[in-house]
Structure 1
Amino acid sequence: MIHTAPPSISQSETVPQATPPTPPRKPTRRNLSWLGLVPFLGFALLFLILPVFYLVNGAFQTPDGRYSFETMLSLSAPEIAGSYGLSLKLSFASAAMGTVFGLILGYALLLGGLPSWVRRAFMTFSGVASNFAGVPLAFAFIATLGRLGLVTLVLRDVLGINIYAAGFSLFSFWGLTLTYLYFQLPLMVLMITPALEGLRPEWREAAESLGASRMQYVARVALPLLAPSVLGCFLLLFANAFGTLATIYALTSANYPVVPIVLFQQIRGNVLYNPNLGYALAVGMILIMGLSNTLYFILRRRAERWQK
């Protein structure tokens, strides 16, 4: 009987190994975190995107419904261009003064060695005052600095200073600028606070160890670092003042022809009634404020480099 040897396994051949059984796949859970954005997206669609499309569509129409560039070209009319110029001047003046005085005040509160309770009290006041505008603010300034206001009468009867005889008027350019400062100044303090808190104490100590004075540190170290943040805050203050309507309307009874008042008169007025021109004015405001916000975001990204 012949016995045959079992077949040998060559080295080139591999023995197949059993693969472990794969566990059953669990059903993928849908990412529900995006649902939190649904209210915001709906709000933006209804009150931002669709109104902008409506305004742009109306700005390129004539009152009889015909599409034309005539309405947009009418923005170059002298009275319309003058209203834009007046709004730009008023916004620039209030934003510039708010930026300068707000930066000085914020620096004094955070880095000037004032007691902590002063800082907390003023920051609380700034949060309230930055949102205090419209008719209540106009009434407060009329009762304070109007022709028969409290401060006006005290200056006249006690100190013998008649500010209205000297040329001041609450309803003039500088009177309106002063009124705007009431909410521009605290808003600047709130916006510049994070940038001021980002200034590290060791930077000042290093500058002082090299022989720099306090003013040299501020001029050559702090201000160059704060410049993008300060310019960004200025742009936001400019946009904030450019779109203000209720305060100036209540103060001047629509007799100061800035762009928001002219727009209001074109849409809701009885004499000047041209809704399409009002839409064109609104589109011009959107372009100016959109440019300001775009430049702000660019400066903000640049400021975040040294704050990290």
Structure 2
Amino acid sequence: MTTAPTPVPTPAATDPGGGPGASRTASSPTPAGRVPAARRGLRGGTWLATVPLLAFFAIGFGLPAVAILTGAFTVSSDAETGGGDFTTANLTESVQGAYWTALLSSLKLSALTALIGTAVGVPIAQAVVTSRFRMLREAVLTASGVLANFGGLPLAFAFVATLGNAGELTELFHLTDHGWSLYSFTGLTVAYLYFLVPLMVLTITPALDGLRVQWREAAQNNRATTLQYWRHVALPILFPSLLGGYVLLFGSAFAAYATAAAMVGATVPLISRQIADALSGNVLVGQGNLALALSLDMIIVAILVMAVYLPLQRRSARWLS
């Protein structure tokens, strides 16, 4: 009588639960929750790579911010008495009288130019995105990148030579007879649009590129018109990007200084001009800390702008990524 061989138990059969009797090999997976040493080293290297950037940010932005915050709440050292003492008079004065008028004028100019820049820039960007000519797209985007950074004295000189009282276009079309004046709120608005519209084109083009063809095809399959597609599909998706672009244009116009200073001077009251006058002592001596208080007002507005802009960018990125 032949007997069957006794089967040899395997490690899995011996201890199916992976207990002390289970076989462990060198190729066993890494336990959950533990990061491999190579990845930990990579993360450490990444943080080390950001140290120069963080140091530059601390020196270039952190120290000036601390100096502005400290100076805004202290008496100027140029004052006759109480230099260096704590006070809230600077902030109180910065939102009164001519300074408050200048702040409101800056907010009005920024809001208006940002609105017009958004309304004009979006159709241009849409035409570029839907164009079949690649060279046209590249040319418009390249020009927008250049013009978005073309400001300050060169821009003011270009507008004075073109649309000033003795400018080429002013004399050619007799604009002065129709009430045109470059050195006014309207003229400054036109000058600001020269760099705000290209900035909007650069800002909104990636969002328009993110609109998927399948969404338009699905709308057409459901017999939706072009207007219905933009109203119910495209615009709700683009709304965070549009609002974010508007906020970005608002911040750029609010912080602009050189163009207005060279073109209109004190004709149009702006908060940036008031800061320059207080620092240089054009009006009163010893107003340096008042200028810091005005700068703090601008920083607060910038923080509010960024508080709106960043969440909108994250929200639109979810749809357009």
TM-score by length of 1: 0.86
CA deviations on 1:52-84 (whole Å, 9 max, x unpaired) are 111010001122221011111112312111001
Secondary structure of the 2:196 match is helix
Q: Which moved more, 1:222-231 or 1:75-84?
A: 75-84
Looking at structure 1, the residues matched to 277 and 123 of structure 2 have their Cα atoms a distance apart, in angstroms, of 39
Count of aligned positions: 283
Report the alpha carbon displacement of residue 254 of structure 1 after superposing the two structures with TM: 4.0
| 1:32 aligned residue | 45
**In the alignment, is the contact (CA less than 8 A) between 2:73 and 2:87 conserved in 1?**
yes
CA deviations on 1:160-193 (whole Å, 9 max, x unpaired) are xx22221111111111011000110000000101
**In the alignment, is the contact (CA less than 8 A) between 1:108 and 1:114 conserved in 2?**
no
Give the AA of the match of 2:52: P
Assess, with a 3 A threshold, how the Cα gap between structure 1 residues 59 and 207 changes in structure 2: closer, same or farther: same
| 1:49 aligned residue | 62
Give the AA of the match of 1:146: G
Give the AA of the match of 1:82: T
| 1:3 aligned residue | none
Looking at structure 2, the residues matched to 20 and 116 of structure 1 have their Cα atoms a distance apart, in angstroms, of 58
| Structure 1 stretches lacking a partner, 5+ long | 1-14, 156-161
TM-score by length of 2: 0.83
Report the alpha carbon displacement of residue 46 of structure 1 after superposing the two structures with TM: 1.0
Report the alpha carbon displacement of residue 29 of structure 1 after superposing the two structures with TM: 5.8
| 2:249 aligned residue | 237
Give the AA of the match of 2:176: Y
Secondary structure of the 2:175 match is coil
Looking at structure 2, the residues matched to 205 and 20 of structure 1 have their Cα atoms a distance apart, in angstroms, of 55
Looking at structure 2, the residues matched to 85 and 29 of structure 1 have their Cα atoms a distance apart, in angstroms, of 52
Looking at structure 1, the residues matched to 88 and 135 of structure 2 have their Cα atoms a distance apart, in angstroms, of 58
User: Is residue 2:223 matched to residue 1:205?
Assistant: no
Give the AA of the match of 2:70: N
| 2:280 aligned residue | 268
Counterpart pick for 1:60 among 66, 73, 77 = 73
Secondary structure of the 1:165 match is helix
Report the alpha carbon displacement of residue 99 of structure 1 after superposing the two structures with TM: 0.7
Q: What percentage of aligned pairs have identical amino acids?
A: 40
User: Is residue 2:117 matched to residue 1:102?
Assistant: no
Instruction: Please give the residue correspondences for 1:32-181 in structure 2 after superposition, counting only pairs within 5 Å.
Output: 32-63=45-76, 64-111=83-130, 113-155=131-173, 162-181=174-193
User: Is residue 2:240 matched to residue 1:228?
Assistant: yes
Assess, with a 3 A threshold, how the Cα gap between structure 1 residues 34 and 16 changes in structure 2: closer, same or farther: closer
| Structure 2 stretches lacking a partner, 5+ long | 1-19, 27-36, 77-82
Assess, with a 3 A threshold, how the Cα gap between structure 1 residues 154 and 206 changes in structure 2: closer, same or farther: same
Looking at structure 2, the residues matched to 232 and 29 of structure 1 have their Cα atoms a distance apart, in angstroms, of 37
Report the alpha carbon displacement of residue 209 of structure 1 after superposing the two structures with TM: 1.3
| 1:283 aligned residue | 296
| 1:293 aligned residue | 306
Give the AA of the match of 1:75: S
Query: RMSD value over aligned CA atoms?
Result: 2.3
Looking at structure 2, the residues matched to 134 and 142 of structure 1 have their Cα atoms a distance apart, in angstroms, of 12
